[in-house]
């Protein structure tokens, strides 16, 4: 339901990129969200739109966002070509932080 006191469109705009979704943004009306990534193959229509052959490997990303009262307020999905989507992360303490450890003044 539309509630003019809850700026949902603005909150959604904070996470319109995958980077925004993974990093989050301050001041949002979104409490949390769920993201699923599933391997799939493109059907005829998806393949035509993405200009590749049908049955090409792809990834289906689906999300559900919840408001501060834990009510689902947004659901969506998109299909990405498997050869065009790459996820990367860093594990451990960032190099700049490690360099500062153990130094004496």
- What is d(CA 94, CA 71) in angstroms, rounded to the nearest whole number? 36
- What is d(CA 84, CA 78) in angstroms, rounded to the nearest whole number? 13
pLDDT tens by residue, 73-87? 888 898 999 888 887
pLDDT score recorded for residue 27: 53
pLDDT score recorded for residue 100: 59
Retrieve residue 37's tokens: 């990534």
Domains of the chain, start order:
8-83 (3.40.1410.10)
52 burial level (CB within 10 Å; 0-12, 13-18, 19+): middle
pLDDT score recorded for residue 66: 87
Low-confidence ranges of the chain (pLDDT < 50): 16, 105
User: What does DSSP assign to residue 14?
Assistant: T
pLDDT score recorded for residue 105: 47
Q: Where are the beta strands (DSSP E) in the chain?
A: 30-41, 57-67, 72-81
């Amino acid at each position: 339901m539309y509630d003019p006191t809850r700026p949902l469109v603005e909150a959604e705009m904070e996470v319109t990129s995958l980077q925004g979704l993974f990093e989050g943004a301050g001041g949002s009306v979104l409490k949390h969200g769920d993201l699923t990534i599933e391997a799939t193959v493109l059907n005829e229509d998806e393949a035509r739109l993405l200009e590749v052959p049908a049955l090409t490997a792809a990834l289906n990303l689906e999300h559900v966002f919840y408001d501060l009262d834990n009510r689902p307020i947004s659901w969506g999905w998109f299909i990405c070509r498997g050869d065009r989507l790459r996820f990367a992360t860093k594990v451990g303490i960032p190099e700049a932080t490690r360099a500062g450890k153990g130094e004496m003044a």
